[in-house]
Structure 1
Amino acid sequence: MLLSAARLTHLWCYKRPLFTVSRRLSVKLNFSSLSESKVLNYVNEESDDDFLPWLEKKAGAEISHVLSIGNSAYGRSLFATRKIRAGDCILKVPYDAQLAPDNLLPEIKPLLGDEVGNVAKLAIVVLVEQKMGQDSDWAPYISRLPQPGEMHNTIFWAEDELNLICQSSLYQETVVKKLQIEKEFLAIKPVLESFPEFFEGVTLKEFMHAHALVESRAWESTKGVSLIPFADFLNHDKVSEAIVIFDEEKQLSKVFADRSYARSEEVFITYGKSPNAALMLDFGFAFPYNKHDEVQIQINIPHHDPLCEMKLDLLKEHRLPITKDENGFKLSEDSFTIKLVLTLDYLCLKHRAL
């Protein structure tokens, strides 16, 4: 049975799975099209020559015969080593060669309660493998994951940078996510402290880094949550339709090309149809003219408003959730979403006006 996998990115709604760019906010907000990264950006890195042989030895099977690791303008990427046709299977990674919560040390697993989610559990797995260093069976993979200074999700922005977007919903979502990760860390900290050989002196900052690695790179399916080595070197492109597919019968994760690629051209998949704010929150990049972009407008209706019931009925008609505040008054907790759609006619008219 073939099942589509989903990135662990959050649905872009409030109250509720790579790139090397400058740390400066002005560049973080620099919109770029990954599809522009073609043949000229291909640079093979000798340090990565041993990665695929290591993974294939671990998997006991061939992973890919048409892809190799290189370096594009966006960091580590996968490039075609020969011509690829649309519909070709470009890689297959067995479940046994993936990191999942099942990889938790057996002495740690029973100590984690139901309140600890799969993302946090897999983050603990990453922390253990990081601590083991070159002694880890996963060292070739773990060592290639982005370091803290290379991640630009908004949870890693400095306070003065976040203040520049303090009026946006992205700011509020970033604050909520940071608080959520801190809450999870406090919940598992007593367990971590029971294993000083792995977690002695572990900090919230280190857990947040591991947590962000999982959220931005892992995939979710009936198997649960998993990091898929090699497959997660594939970058996102806004026009790509290629996805990760799980073959439950053969216990494999597969990717099929959605279009043809020339030799040495960077190969892409999609991380999902997300607005720029969600991309910034979960991955640290954004696109120009993103057709999935949205603007969210918060609506709060005071209980003393004489038209309160009428407005609430209108919101309900448009399927906005209605909740109550601490005093029992009804409030609209969510927000209207306005999608920005730039048609070809509009862009042509704008060009002529200029």
Structure 2
Amino acid sequence: MATEAKRPKVDDGSELSPLENFLQWCSRVGLVLSNKVYVSKEGTVAEYGMLAKDNIEEGEVLFTIPRSALLHQGTTKVSALLEKEKSSLESSSGWVPLLLALLYEYTFSQSHWKPYLCLWTDFKTLDHPMFWSKEERGRLLRGTGIPEAVDTDLTNIRREYTDVILPFITQHPDIWNPNTHTLELYTQLVAFVMAYSFQEPQEEEDDEDEDEEEEKAPNLPMMVPMADMLNHVSDHNANLEFTLDSLKMVCVRPIRKGEEVFNTYGQMANWQLLHMYGFTEPYPSNSNDTADIPITNLYKVATQESDLDRQLVEEQWQMLRQMMQEKGAFVFGKQGCLTDTELHTALKVLCMSKEEFSEFKENEGWEEDDEEDEKISLAFSNEGLPGLKASWKWLIHEAARLTLRSYEDEQVEGKVVDSDRALIEDKAALAGLSSRQQNALQVQYGQKSILSRLMDLTKS
């Protein structure tokens, strides 16, 4: 019986897998990959990742990307048009030019970036909460702050598409088509930029250069092929460095053969990772996890005392709202309060006598010196919290309790945290959950455990 003839691979790489095609493209555009690493879909924590073929020492360069291989509004084929029309593309996000470039390049069959963008077919691997149903977000992520953040995102995305994108692409039917470049695709590309883009760190300028700094272009996101293949952990072993001509992924601590190479997306709590990237770090590995106590919860607790001067508390609260209008919550990490100065101010104001508050208003607040800031930081650390004034501890304790209740419709105090812990520690039970349920559990339990610990530290 004759065997089936093998078809030769054609020059355009159509016989190659998306990953192989991408790697060939990397060679063509001058991206240099160390022979000590390789990209794989197996043995990594996500769909793609990078693994070490050999032991790697600190300081070794894992790959180098020429700036010409970066995808942004200045390197796309439609860059001249985007630059010419930039005044009509302004938006609150600042992402419109990049997103228009991606809309074009992703759907143009002859795009220079096709081997790169084909790694994300239909963006099916993206599972940001924005792609969950509203009911699912509300049920699984109650109390985390993510449902509210997603609602804001979706409202802004729809507004940006309707007010800016759609009028622009309608004016250029030879390049974009509303039937192809839809709101759905636009939303997927927003998630793509959230999850995979990079921003170049801005160098700090001296005061005398402030005028020049104002004239500089804003720090806009860019797509960085190969760098975005690396997964994130807070305890990372590689870091992206920016130079004048190229970007380099550099090993920041020894990596053993067979280990995965991890980059960092920054100091990200699990709620931020899930909101922006669609994944979480398993408890307790995320050292940057946080929990928020809304400032309104502190106010609600302050008004619970029966013998308080309600008019005084209302005046104190109105002043705090003016002072902290951009800070809607106090943030607590694993080692204590991360917004300690703001919390110190709020507690001090809410616990003032009428005379003290009157003097405070006359002075229009106060500024802390560096030495005072250090004392405040220590006072609101895990080590310092038990030693705070009783009235301050009570406010923090009750505000944490009120916040903890927001995760559940009903709960027996402490029992929900214990049940979450039991579920996380039961590997078989955890594996039986969907990926969304697992991620939601990681976010909620991380936040609840921080709040529960805070309550223990502020017991009377």
Structure with greater helix percent: 2
In 1, are the aligned partners of 2:289 and 2:334 still within 8 Å (CA)?
Answer: yes
Query: When the two structures are superposed, what TM-score results if normalisation uses the length of structure 2?
Result: 0.56
In 1, are the aligned partners of 2:18 and 2:119 still within 8 Å (CA)?
Answer: no
Letter of the structure 1 residue corresponding to residue 238 of structure 2: A
Q: Unmatched 5+ residue regions in structure 1?
A: 1-44, 324-331, 344-349
Are 1:258 and 2:252 counterparts? yes
Q: Unmatched 5+ residue regions in structure 2?
A: 1-15, 203-218, 301-309, 337-381, 383-420, 426-460
CA distance in 1, matches of 2:234, 2:111: 35
What is the 5 A alignment of 1:112-131?
A: 112=86, 113=88, 115-116=90-91, 117-131=93-107
SS at match of 2:95: helix
What is the 5 A alignment of 1:294-305?
A: 294-300=290-296, 305=311
Identify which of 236, 239, 254 aligns with 1:240.
236
CA distance in 1, matches of 2:259, 2:146: 34
Q: Percent identity?
A: 20
In 1, are the aligned partners of 2:239 and 2:264 still within 8 Å (CA)?
Answer: yes
Are 1:143 and 2:142 counterparts? no
**Paired position in structure 2 for 1:194:** 171
CA distance in 1, matches of 2:60, 2:99: 33
SS at match of 2:65: strand
CA distance in 1, matches of 2:313, 2:184: 47
In 1, are the aligned partners of 2:63 and 2:249 still within 8 Å (CA)?
Answer: yes
Give 1:161 shift.
0.9
What is the 5 A alignment of 1:141-290?
A: 141-145=116-120, 147-164=122-139, 165-186=141-162, 187-200=164-177, 201=179, 202-221=181-200, 222=202, 224-240=220-236, 242-248=238-244, 251-287=245-281, 288-289=283-284, 290=286
In the superposition, relative to structure 1, how do residues 262 and 150 fare at CA in structure 2: closer, same or farther (>3 Å)? same
Are 1:67 and 2:37 counterparts? yes
Structure 1 runs (4+) deviating above 4 angstroms are none
> 1:199-233 CA distances to partner (integer Å, 9 max, x unpaired)?
31122111011111112111111574211111110
Are 1:309 and 2:284 counterparts? no
In the superposition, relative to structure 1, how do residues 278 and 204 fare at CA in structure 2: closer, same or farther (>3 Å)? same
RMSD over equivalenced CA pairs, Å: 3.0
> 1:251-290 CA distances to partner (integer Å, 9 max, x unpaired)?
1111111222233332111111111110110011112122
CA distance in 2, matches of 1:120, 1:79: 34
Give 1:114 shift.
5.5
In 2, are the aligned partners of 1:131 and 1:198 still within 8 Å (CA)?
Answer: no
In the superposition, relative to structure 1, how do residues 167 and 47 fare at CA in structure 2: closer, same or farther (>3 Å)? closer
CA distance in 2, matches of 1:242, 1:82: 15
Letter of the structure 1 residue corresponding to residue 38 of structure 2: S
**Paired position in structure 1 for 2:324:** 322
In 1, are the aligned partners of 2:232 and 2:265 still within 8 Å (CA)?
Answer: yes
Deviates more, 1:276-285 or 1:194-203: 194-203
Give 1:46 shift.
5.5
Letter of the structure 1 residue corresponding to residue 269 of structure 2: P
| Higher RCO (CA-CA < 8 Å; seq separation 6+) | 1
Give 1:140 shift.
0.6
SS at match of 2:55: coil
SS at match of 2:124: helix
In the superposition, relative to structure 1, how do residues 169 and 321 fare at CA in structure 2: closer, same or farther (>3 Å)? farther
In the superposition, relative to structure 1, how do residues 180 and 81 fare at CA in structure 2: closer, same or farther (>3 Å)? same
Deviates more, 1:160-169 or 1:83-92: 160-169
Are 1:86 and 2:58 counterparts? yes
The count of corresponding residues between Structure 1 and Structure 2 is 286
CA distance in 2, matches of 1:154, 1:170: 8
> 1:115-174 CA distances to partner (integer Å, 9 max, x unpaired)?
2354222121111111113x1111110101363331111111112211212443111111
Structure with greater strand percent: 1
